[in-house]
Amino acid sequence: MNLDANLKISVIGTGIMGETIIKSLLDSGIKTNQLNFYEKRAERAAAIKSIYGIEEQKLINIARESQVIFIAVKPQDLEGLLKEISADLTGKTLLISVAAGKTTKFIESNTVSANPVIRVMPNTPAIFGAGAGALCLGKNADQNHLMITQSLLSKTGLLIEVDESQMDAVTALSGSGPAYFFLLTESMIKSAIKLGLSEEAAKNLTNQTIFGAAKMLQESGLDAQSLRNNVTSPNGTTAAAIKVFQDAGVERLVEEAMRAAKSRAAELA
């Protein structure tokens, strides 16, 4: 989709996800003079201006002048922000929220102009163009708003459309998923050091092992179970390790962890 070269876009909140959105927008071809931001922390605002060369704006100017606003504040700050900007929004302004757990209905109920709303759940690898995320449409958003959002976030990685009822599950899977992966990585490194490897060797071998495994999963055409079976020789070293995982109930632990994340996302609504 070819976007209007004069489209005015703003990002409110420049934490990890807000910065990811800024970088992705610029990578997708948005010009610095089309893009501005609001950040309440002065030091962080100065860093964003220095890194990306975009201008900081007051909230009232963002509300009045933007055609698209990405809302990347913490979930607990969303209601206050919406009340602050609502009266100055035009009804055509597209609001794209990445606030975990907060529904499109919640956002619509805290604005006065029947704005189109799209909810997005990206994840942190999106800053490298390797994200996995999902989006859903509010009642006032249409296919044109969907295409605009997909075009603006085209450099973040995989982005699929789901029903809003599935968004908390997406949060539990791809939204929180990188942290599960990092926890496993930490554990592998610590264990390798205990087995006698140097910290450097443990880090390098672990990182490359996981990178290679992910590449195989992405490019081999085989599913995870098939790849696991291929490397697990009967009565071999891998089989011994896998048995420990299975005896400890790793599948149950993963399911319980993801259910906890999904439940917490629902609590934030």
DSSP 143-182: HHHHHHHHHHTTTSEEEEE--GGGHHHHIIIIITHHHHHH
Give this prediction's pTM: 0.89
Beta bridge partners of 37: 11, 56
Q: So where are the chain's domains?
A: 9-163, 177-267
CB 48 within 8 A of CB 13: no
Work out whether the CA dihedral 198, 248, 242, 183 comes out positive or negative.
Answer: negative
Q: What percent of the chain has pLDDT over 90?
A: 94
- Residue 44: exposure state from Cβ atoms within 10 A (0-12, 13-18, ≥19): middle
R_g of the chain computed on alpha carbons: 21
C-alpha distance from residue 101 to each of 51, 67, 94, 150, 252 (Å): 30, 24, 19, 20, 24
For the segment 221-244, what is each residue's pLDDT rounded down to a tens digit? 999 999 999 999 999 999 999 999
Query: Domain 177-267, what architecture?
Result: Orthogonal Bundle (1.10)
Residue type at 257?
A: A
Render each residue's pLDDT in the chain as its tens digit; 269 residues: 667 778 999 999 999 999 999 999 999 999 999 999 999 999 999 999 999 999 999 999 999 999 999 999 999 999 999 999 999 999 999 999 999 889 999 999 999 989 999 999 999 999 999 999 999 999 999 999 999 999 999 999 999 999 999 999 999 999 999 999 999 999 999 999 999 999 999 999 999 999 999 999 999 999 999 999 999 999 999 999 999 999 999 999 999 999 999 999 888 87
Is the domain spanning 9-163 CATH 3.40.930.10? The answer is no
